[in-house]
Every structure is written in C-alpha cells, then in structure tokens.
C-alpha cells in the first residue's frame, strides 16, 4: 500500500467555523482556544485489520489489553489471555511473537499495559511487576510489585525514559481480615514507577470532587471478614481522571469538571494549562434516569478470587451536580493533545478538540467523525482495538492523511 505524506495544514476560515453563536467559546477570534469551533474534515485510509476466530494462531486473539507502535510503524499487540505480544509490520504482516506464558526471563504473566520505545524495546506492566525487554524480546530486568506496596493499574502510561506513571491499586489484607474498610489517600494520587527501581513515588495529586455527605466510597470496595467484598453504588457523572505523557517528559492531566488540561513536570509542579471557556452542563432528571438504567444493566462478577462480590442497590446511586466537559484525553505521536468533550446526553461521544501543549488550537473533529484511537503511531497511523460484528477481538489500523477545515 502506498504511504501518503501526512499533512497537518489547518487554515483558519470563518466559513469553517459555522455559526459562532452556536459554538462554545465564541467570544474569542476564530482559530484560538477562546473562539468558536473550527470544524475539521479528516481524510483517512484503511491500512489493515487483523483478528479472526478461525485464522492463523497469531491472529486468534484472546483478550487484547493494549496496542502500541514503534518508530518504524510496526504494531505491537498485547494479548493478555495468551501472555504474549504479537508484532506486525507496517502492512499488517505477522513478524514474530514476544513473551509467552511463564515466570522465566522474557515470559509474561497476565500483562495489562504496554509501552514500546521507538527503537522497539518494551516496558510491560503486569500483576507481578514491570518487565523491561529489549527489541528482540530478551528480558533486561524485572521490577517486582505487590498490591500491598502498590501496583500500577491497567491504564498506566509511560514517560520517554520508560518509567510507568499510573494511579495505583493497593489492598491492605490485614484490614480486610479485621473487617475494616480500605483507606483512601487524599485526592487522587498519580504515581511514578521509576525505570531504575520501580518503587512508586507520588508525582502529582489530582483534584477530587468533594462529597457533600463526607462519604468517599464512590465506587470503592468495603470488605468484611466474612469473605464478602461490598461495592458502593458510587456517584454518577463524577469527573474522571485522564492523563498521558508528552515526548518532553511532562504529563498532561485532566481532573476537573471544566475544560482544563494541566501540564505537570517531573517535579510535580503544574507548568502550563490549556483551557477553553466551555461551561459544564447541569445534570438533568433524564440523565439521572438513564444512569440508573446503565447501572442496572452493568454486569458485575459474583466472585473475584476468594471474595464474593456484592453491590449496593440502584437506590444508593448518587449524582454529581454537573456533567464534566471533558470525557477523554490523550496525546498523539506529534505531541498534540486530543480532547474529547462529553456528548449532549452526558455520556455519548462528543466533538474532539486537537490542541497543543503550548496552547495552540488546531481544530475540532465532529462527534460522528474520527475517534481517539487505542494507539497513535508514526506517519499518521492510528490503531483501534475493537470487537467485530460477532464479538471477535480485532485491531483496525488506519492512516490519518490530512486534516482540513470543513468546506475548504
């Protein structure tokens, strides 16, 4: 397949903005964060799709937990069920396996997160710790983890030096045995697992929405000595915590109800913010009823390990007053920040702003257009891990060829 050069020329034109009175931030000039949306048309091309029920061994995925690209455009697909990484070349042709089940050097065990260096080396997070592998899959070192001292969660990100950054799961087995609740730290700590030793250190404590009832169990487990783990119904429409690393070693963080992306340095200081004047929506009764329906439809496992899981009834579900403006955020290969806004119904897909860490505004993709991928790659590559029409795990790779204002 012929590779087209990726162009990102974005012309600021009033005709691309639509009616300014209908756009958020319409008080500022077009083409700025304070101005109306400049709607973008994305030209893409399909590169390949892999994943099959009755295909070759390498394309029969069990459970895809992560996808990443290296600097040459090779895709690396982390299969948690098979404990291995499937490597594909830029055209989607199988190259090799990395890893495999086991506890020996280079083998994996329930891997959950994957970082691929641009030269093809790996940092793999799993239940047992962090594995650092060379581009050939050879184990360079392993840093053990435990839930007592803290383990990175499945959505961990990685700094350029390979250090993992993540919120952390901790579980005090002694408190559980005594029938006591697990204690939460203040705020929402984001911790770094340095590549040198892997011992977690707090990088930044994100803001947490105060609870008027003083009950911080939003969606936590409250355990007792009878072997039952009781799950709180929580609070719908709370602002989620989003974070991703930039190429220069900063961390982009979203932790508020409004439109604000913070840039956090490695010393934990906020060195810049990217904001748009977009107000959050008030949570309506219709939104609350829909949230109750989603809660009832959500499947919860009856057992996790030795624990029996029970959750509170839907009547215990509480609600925040406002819908957070930002639903998702990530950083692409060129260090642009993709900010997905919450849809009009409070949960559905919304438009995606493409901005820069310096406060530049590239434009906005419509809600029914190109979505944030599982992974960005070089030369416009974007990978989506998604089930096909019958539920088979697949990875679809497209190329973003160009972005232009609509109507140009």
Spell out a b/e string for 380-389, using b for 16 or more CB atoms within 10 Å of the CB, else e: bbbbbbeeee
The pLDDT tens digits for 133-188 are 999 999 998 888 777 677 777 778 889 888 889 988 777 777 777 777 777 788 99
Report the pLDDT value the prediction gives residue 155, as an integer from 0 to 100: 78
**pTM for this predicted structure:** 0.86
Report the pLDDT value the prediction gives residue 1, as an integer from 0 to 100: 35
Q: How far apart are CA 75 and CA 91, in angstroms?
A: 9
Radius of gyration of the chain, Cα coordinates, nearest whole angstrom:
22
Which stretches of the chain score pLDDT less than 70?
1-26, 148, 212-229, 300-307, 408
Say if CB 186 and CB 205 are below 8 A apart.
yes
Report the pLDDT value the prediction gives residue 30, as an integer from 0 to 100: 84
Closest CA to 242 of 222, 257, 227: 257
For the chain, the domains span 14-405
Report the pLDDT value the prediction gives residue 190, as an integer from 0 to 100: 95
Report the pLDDT value the prediction gives residue 33, as an integer from 0 to 100: 94
Report the pLDDT value the prediction gives residue 156, as an integer from 0 to 100: 84
Say if CB 98 and CB 124 are below 8 A apart.
no
What CATH superfamily classification does 14-405 receive?
A: TolB, C-terminal domain (2.120.10.30)
Say if CB 133 and CB 126 are below 8 A apart.
no
The pLDDT tens digits for 286-342 are 999 999 999 899 876 666 555 677 778 888 999 999 999 999 999 999 999 999 999
Collect all residues with Cβ–Cβ distance below 8 Å to 351 and sequence separation of at least 6: 37, 39, 340, 341, 364, 365, 366, 367
Report the pLDDT value the prediction gives residue 96, as an integer from 0 to 100: 97
Q: How far apart are CA 190 and CA 203, in angstroms?
A: 6
Say if CB 139 and CB 123 are below 8 A apart.
no
Report the pLDDT value the prediction gives residue 130, as an integer from 0 to 100: 86
């Amino acid at each position: 397949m012929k590779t087209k050069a990726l162009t990102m020329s974005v012309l600021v034109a009033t005709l691309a903005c639509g009616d300014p009175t209908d756009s958020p931030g319409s008080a500022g000039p077009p083409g700025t964060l304070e101005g109306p949306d400049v709607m973008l048309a994305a030209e893409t091309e399909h590169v390949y799709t892999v994943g099959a029920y009755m295909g070759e061994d390498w394309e029969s995925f069990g459970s895809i937990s992560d996808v990443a690209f290296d600097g040459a455009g090779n895709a690396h697909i982390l299969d948690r069920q098979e404990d291995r990484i499937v490597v594909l070349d830029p055209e989607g042709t199988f190259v090799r396996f990395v890893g495999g089940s086991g506890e020996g050097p280079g083998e994996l065990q329930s891997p959950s997160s994957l970082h691929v260096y641009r030269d093809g080396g790996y940092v793999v997070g799993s239940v047992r710790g962090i594995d650092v592998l060379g581009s050939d899959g050879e184990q360079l070192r392993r840093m053990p983890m435990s839930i007592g001292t803290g383990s990175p969660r499945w959505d961990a990100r990685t700094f350029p030096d390979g250090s993992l950054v993540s919120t952390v799961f901790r579980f005090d087995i002694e408190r559980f045995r005594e029938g006591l609740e697990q204690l939460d730290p203040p705020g929402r700590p984001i911790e770094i697992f340095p590549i040198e030793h892997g011992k977690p250190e707090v990088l930044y404590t994100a803001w947490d929405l105060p609870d008027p009832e003083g009950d911080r169990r939003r969606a936590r487990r409250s355990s007792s000595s009878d072997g039952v783990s009781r799950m709180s119904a929580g609070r719908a429409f709370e602002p989620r915590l989003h974070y991703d690393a930039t190429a220069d070693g900063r961390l982009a963080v979203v932790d508020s109800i409004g439109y604000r992306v913070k840039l956090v340095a490695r010393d934990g200081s906020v060195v810049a913010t990217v904001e748009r004047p977009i107000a959050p929506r008030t949570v309506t009764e219709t939104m609350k009823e829909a949230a109750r329906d989603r809660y009832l439809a959500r499947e919860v496992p009856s057992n996790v390990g030795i624990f029996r899981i029970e959750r509170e009834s839907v009547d215990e579900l509480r609600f925040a007053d406002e819908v957070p403006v930002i639903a998702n955020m990530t950083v692409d290969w060129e260090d642009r920040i993709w900010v997905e806004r919450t849809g009009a119904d409070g949960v559905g897909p919304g438009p995606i702003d493409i901005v820069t860490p310096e406060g530049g505004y590239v434009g906005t993709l419509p809600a029914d257009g190109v979505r944030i991928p599982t992974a960005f790659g070089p030369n416009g590559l974007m990978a989506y891990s998604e089930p096909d029409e019958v539920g088979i795990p697949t990875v679809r790779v497209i190329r973003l060829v160009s972005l232009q204002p609509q109507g140009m």
